[in-house]
Amino acid sequence: MSSDSTSAPAGRRRRDAGATKQALLEAAQARFAQVGYESTTLRDVAADVGVNLALIKRYFGSKEGLFKAALAASPRLMNDVPAGRASLAEALSRQLATDSWPEFDKHPVLMLLRASGDEQVTALRREALEGAAQRILDALGTGSSPADRSADGLLRAELLVALGVGVAVLRSAVGLEPLASVSAEELAGPIQGIVDGLMA
C-alpha cells in the first residue's frame, strides 16, 4: 500500500528530503524492533534505504536522535478502542495476531522494549505504555462492574498491557509455538476470558 512515497521518480529516489527522511525512519523502526538498539548499525539503516550514512546525522542528529524519532513516529498502541469488554478483547486479539502486523518482528511494541540508556527514551517509552494502559482503562470505564472503578483499575489495565508486551515478545523474539502462529480468531476466546476474569 505505502510502498512508494509521494512524488518520487520511482527508480532511485533522489533529492526528496521528505521521502528520504521517512524512508530512514521506517527502516530504523524495523531494525530497532528486530535487533534492538545496540545491534542496529546506522550503516545498515542507511543501506536499507540506499542513501549515505551521513544523512542520518543530518536529519536526526545522532543515533539517539534517530531512535527517539522512530519511537515518536510509532503508531499509538491500543488506539481507538471502542468501549466495552468485548471490543477490548477483540482489539487486543487482533493487534497481537499476525493479522494487523504481517511482519510481526517489526511490531512497534518491540521497539519500546529495547533500551538505550537515555533518560528521554525511557520517558517516551513509559508515556507510550502508560497511554495504552489508560486507553484500556477508558475502554472499560463505562462498565458497571465494581472492579472497573476500583482503585487498582489502572493496575489491571497495566496487566493487560503486560500481556500484550509478553505476547509480542514471545511471538517475535522467541517464536514460541503455538502462540507464535496463532490467529486472531483463535486468540479471541482466551483473551476474552482473561479480560472477563480480570474485571470480574
Binding region for a second copy (CB under 8 A):
34-36, 38-39, 112-113, 115-117, 122, 125-126, 129-130, 133, 152, 154-156, 158-159, 161-167, 169-170, 173-176, 178-179, 182, 186, 189-191, 193-200
The cell for 39 is 545491534
Residues 6+ apart with CB under 8 A from 35: none
User: Closest by alpha carbon to 81, among 115, 131, 31?
Assistant: 131
Kindly state the smallest distance separating residue 19's Cβ from a second copy, in Å: 23
Q: Which does 55 bind (CB under 5 to 8 A by kind): DNA, a second copy, none?
A: DNA
Kindly state the smallest distance separating residue 95's Cβ from a second copy, in Å: 14
Mark 10-29 with x for binding to DNA (rule: CB under 7 A) and - for no binding: ---xxxxx--x---------
Are 98 and 172 in contact, with CB atoms under 8 Å apart?
A: no
Neighbours of 72 (CB within 10 A): 11
User: Closest by alpha carbon to 164, among 100, 82, 83, 68?
Assistant: 100
Neighbours of 20 (CB within 10 A): 20
CB-nearer residue toward DNA: 27 or 51 = 51
Kindly state the smallest distance separating residue 125's Cβ from DNA, in Å: 19
Neighbours of 42 (CB within 10 A): 19
Q: Answer yes or no whether residue 58 interacts with DNA by CB under 7 A.
A: yes
Kindly state the smallest distance separating residue 103's Cβ from DNA, in Å: 22
Q: Which does 190 bind (CB under 5 to 8 A by kind): a second copy, DNA, none?
A: a second copy
Q: Answer yes or no whether residue 54 interacts with DNA by CB under 7 A.
A: yes
CB-nearer residue toward a second copy: 23 or 45 = 45
Helix (H) or strand (E) holding 172: none
Kindly state the smallest distance separating residue 113's Cβ from a second copy, in Å: 6
Within 13 A of 139's CA, how many CA atoms are on the CB side?
25
Task: Report d(CA 65, CA 70) in Å as an integer.
Answer: 8
Residues at the site binding DNA, with contacts judged by CB under 7 A: 13-17, 20, 40-44, 50-55, 57-58, 62-64
